[in-house]
Structure 1
Amino acid sequence: MTANFKKPSINADRFAAGRVSSLQSSFDHQILRGLLAEWENALWLLPESLRRSIKRPLFAIRDMPARLGSWSRDKREITLSREIISDHRWDDVKEVLLHEMAHQVAHEGLLATSEPDHGNGFRQACRLLRANPAASGTCRPLHMRLHQGEELNDRDRIVVRIHKLMALAESNNPNEAQAAMLKAHELISRHNVDLIAQGLDQDYHSLFLGAPRLRHFREAYHLAHLLQDFYFIQGMWIQAWVLKKGRMGRVLEISGTRKNVQIADYIHAAICRYIDDAWADYRRNKDLNRYRKTDFAVGIIEGFKTTLQQASATGSRGVGTHLPAARVEDHALTRYLAHRYPHVRSFSRRGPGHDARVLADGTESGRKLIIAKGITRHDGFKEKFLDYTHDPD
């Protein structure tokens, strides 16, 4: 028997091309709706008198090889490049949108039409919108800037030691691995406590952890608290566009120094991966639903938290210094947060009941969690690695 392979017809080619075009059009439509929703959200950051003078612009997506976005005063149009839309995270997209919106506010609200594009009016609009003045042209997207290696100065040489300890935490000996991880945690704590005590000027950055969603399971909130308590960042659940659902949802945005945001992002990815792997093993041959995964995940997080608490309590013996982790308030970070989030409200929700046995099993698994320098470029987590540049001496 032989197969008769026919050459695809022109009509079939046209149908496939039309389907691709339709999918691209649908994707662009969802993006444009998201840009409008984020624009309307950002508008409320402006004083009321200024807000009334800003009208909704047109939005467009175009191929722009040399730019990430643009604002056209004549067309009243904000354009974003197809590259930033297609290849980058939503917080990157939002950063470029706010930059172009700042141009609009400078022209239409502050009437800075005779100034250079990045003059005083534009910089004032950036401050009001919490926008990055550089987020256009050839500026690298936010997450790329935060995760690329950086030149270390003398006071930051401790980061090299932390990096080496995280490498040692990959040891096949569980005791050695955990000791290295906890020593790295102690150095992170001591380093940040010293910087805060010295009152040194520091730059702060904000980054999404995970993707925006309409609903977050309970473990996401437990993990957010752990990062705040032990890794010198602050988190805020903010509104953000959920592309797949075509609606505004929420995402955890963390803020802190560049190094601390990078480390927290790394820790977050490591714990999420550990939860998924441990749960896959635990639920094998068991009839357990998604809510039981939440119980197991919360247990893992609380078990790991216990390990860090014990390290903070015992790791400083003999040196006369207590390691209070994020309980040492960084007043400069507090001021940064107050400016970035001028309208904050609290919320709480009661989840369904939990399975005490699954929670306890998760807690036991969490006590065995060891975070090492294992999330690297070559293991499927391309953006989640600790990197730096330094002199070999």
Structure 2
Amino acid sequence: MDSKDINSGKEQAFHDPLFAKLRRFQMRNWTEQLYREYENICFQYRADLKKPSIAIVEGCRYWGRWEPIIRRLSLNRDLIVNYPWDTVVEVLKHEMAHQWVHEALDSPHSGHGPEFHQACDRFAVASWARSATGDIQQAISRNPEKLSPEDAAVLKRVEKLLALGRSDNEHEACLAMKEVQRLNQRYQWERLKNRAETSYDYITICHKLKVVPQHQTLIASILSSFFSVDIVFNSLYDAKDQISYKSLELMGSTKHLQIADYVYHYLWHQLPLLWQAHKANAGRKSNRKSFYIGLLTGFHEQLEEQSKAATSKDLSEAQALITRNRQELDQFVADRHPRVHRRSYQCQLRDNDAFQDGKKQGRLMKLRPGIRQHEGALKRLKPGHT
């Protein structure tokens, strides 16, 4: 039975033996996963903590709690049922920070003072999860109200440029994409020159796949090369399915994250559409994976040419500042994933003709606008319709 049915049948579970049994099985699986997450966090952040008892509780008004007297770490069942697992992990890390203050620092303080924030730094707890209540809705939506007026103005300009990218005039579309690259470089330069503080965040993407497809690694390469973000592939538990899937985490500044998130989903949804059109017109048997690799290779080359064209003389002197900005992002990634291992991926071609066809289309592929405004606040980017 689907666990969603178990969740919605909470009242029935108390009267139906089958529901009650399935619900206990579900709770046991979740608890075992939380123990695995606890051990992994200790390993990742080199934290020598004695494992406490972990409990999932119901009917409480808090998301998580550390109880030092009985050494119990508890999480709200509603948190697990209603929110993504990466959000659950951040709440778990919040409570582990409390445990660290009590046991590693041997401090009597139980609030959210300097020692607690020191512990949060150690476990790289997300900014939204460091407060007493934890703004979980912010974690879900990556609330764009966090954008400064300057960031919002840049995004609005990018939207107009992407609109030009729809033009059938190839010269006009090419100039628009070059301007996006130039604008992105100048934006970084001005913020760094003025010593404007940059805040970093992350977005987790999971398609419920057990294997990372080759084209996903190529999309990740495009984002990290041209859109000022870094990416780490990971595994993410799904509480509903009670299994782990492959996921990727985008990390960068708030503005860059929103643009990269849009580009990622645009490319992810565009590939099968272009494949269907290619397959209908190919007149022969063709290989989908090779076509995808060709598309993304061509698109990568297109962006590379545009990036070089966008680098003007007055921006070349800003490379030292941009390098510093990259170092700050690298530090943010290292803090969140201190034991990450970089690996190179080699794509295997099975159909060179499909690859070459895809590459030609990739060099002409245009991003569509997907930034939306509503009630004065920029919303999360979604792929535009073609």
- Specify the TM-score bucket, using the shorter chain as the normaliser: 0.7 to 0.9
User: Using the alignment, how far apart are the partners of 1:226 and 1:351 within structure 2?
Assistant: 15
2:113 corresponds to which residue? 119
Residues 119-162 of structure 1 deviation map (CA, whole Å, 9 limit, x = unaligned): 33322221111113651525134543524334534576333322
Secondary structure of the structure 2 residue equivalent to 1:372: coil
Given that residues 84 and 238 in structure 2 are in contact (C-alpha distance below 8 angstroms), is that contact kept between their aligned partners in structure 1?
Answer: no
Superposed displacement of residue 235, structure 1: 1.7
Please give the residue correspondences for 1:9-24 in structure 2 after superposition, counting only pairs within 5 Å.
Answer: 24=23
How far does the alpha carbon of each residue in 1:33-62 deviate from its partner, in whole angstroms, 9 at most, with x for none?
Answer: 332222111012444xx51x4224213153
Task: Please state how far the C-alpha of 1:316 moved relative to its aligned partner.
Answer: 4.6
1:92–1:141 contact (8 Å) kept in structure 2 = no
Could you tell me how far 1:72 is from its partner in structure 2? 2.8
Q: 2:358 & 2:57 partners in 1: Cα distance?
A: 46
Of the three residues 49, 66, 69, the one matched with 2:64 is 69
Contact 2:45 2:338 (8 Å CA) reproduced = no
Report the Cα distance in structure 1 between the residues aligned to 2:30 and 2:380, rounded to whole angstroms: 23
User: Residues 160 and 32 (structure 1 numbering): CA distance in 2 closer, same or farther, change over 3 Å?
Assistant: same
Tell me if the contact between 1:208 and 1:252 (Cα under 8 Å) persists in the aligned partners: yes
SS of the equivalent of 1:157 reads helix
Deviation (angstroms), 1:101:
1.7
Q: Residue type of the partner of 1:78?
A: L
CA-CA distance at 1:254 after TM superposition: 2.2
1:337, distance to aligned residue in structure 2 (A): 2.7
- 1:180 offset after TM fit, Å? 3.4
Aligned match of 2:273: 277
- Correspondence list, 1:1-393, <5 A: 24-47=23-46, 51=48, 53-64=49-60, 66-112=61-107, 114-132=108-126, 134-135=128-129, 137-141=133-137, 143-144=139-140, 146-150=142-146, 152-154=148-150, 157-170=153-166, 176-177=172-173, 179-196=175-192, 198-211=194-207, 213-241=209-237, 250-284=246-280, 292-316=287-311, 320-321=314-315, 328=323, 330-348=326-344, 352-374=348-370, 384-385=381-382
- Contact 2:87–2:136 (Cα < 8 Å) also in 1: no
User: Helix, strand or coil: the match of 2:136?
Assistant: coil
2:23 and 2:365 map into 1 onto residues whose CA distance is 42
Contact (CA 8 Å) 1:212, 1:241: kept in 2 or not?
no
SS at match of 1:44: helix
Separation (CA, whole Å) in 2 of partners of 1:18 and 1:180:
63
Cα distance in 2 between the residues matched to 1:343 and 1:298:
29
Measured on the aligned residues, the alpha-carbon RMSD in Å equals 3.8
Q: Percent identity?
A: 23
Pair 1:375–1:159, CA change in 2 (3 A): closer
Structure 1 stretch 253-262 or stretch 364-373: which is displaced more?
Answer: 364-373
Structure 1 residues 149, 201: closer, same or farther in 2, change over 3 A? Answer: closer
Name stretches of at least 5 consecutive residues in structure 2 with no aligned partner.
1-11
Measured in 2, the distance between the counterparts of 1:27 and 1:171 equals 52
Distance between the aligned counterparts of 1:349 and 1:315, measured in 2?
28
How far the C-alpha of 1:368 sits from its partner, in A, is: 3.2
Relative to the length of structure 1, the TM-score reads: 0.76
Taking a change above 3 Å as real, the CA distance of residues 71 and 294 of structure 1, as seen in their structure-2 partners, is: farther
**Larger displacement relative to structure 2 (156-165 or 240-249):** 240-249
Query: Aligned partners of 2:221, 2:348: CA distance in 1, in Å?
Result: 20
**3-state SS of paired residue (1:344):** coil
More helix by share: 2
- CA deviations on 1:195-217 (whole Å, 9 max, x unpaired) are 34555431111222335754201
How far apart are residue 245 of structure 1 and its match? Answer: 7.2
Q: Could you say what secondary structure the match of 2:204 adopts?
A: strand
Distance 1:288 1:74 in 2: 67
- Measure how far apart 1:347 and its partner are: 3.3
Contact 1:166–1:180, Cα closer than 8 Å, also in 2? yes
- Asked whether the equivalents of residues 63 and 75 of structure 2 are also in contact (C-alpha less than 8 Å), the reply is yes
Measured after TM superposition, the shift of residue 370 of structure 1 is 1.9
CA 1:374/1:175 → structure 2, altered by over 3 Å: closer, same or farther?
A: farther
Query: For residues 63 and 170 of structure 1, do their structure 2 counterparts lie closer, same or farther at Cα, with a shift above 3 Å needed?
Result: farther
Taking structure 1 as reference, are residues 151 and 336 closer, same or farther at Cα in structure 2, changes over 3 Å only? closer
Contact 2:230–2:251 at 8 Å: present in 1 too?
Answer: yes
Structure-2 change in CA distance of 1:89 and 1:14 (3 Å) = closer
Contact 1:31 1:243 in 2 (8 A): yes
CA 1:25–1:287 in structure 2 vs 1: closer, same or farther (change >3 Å)?
A: farther
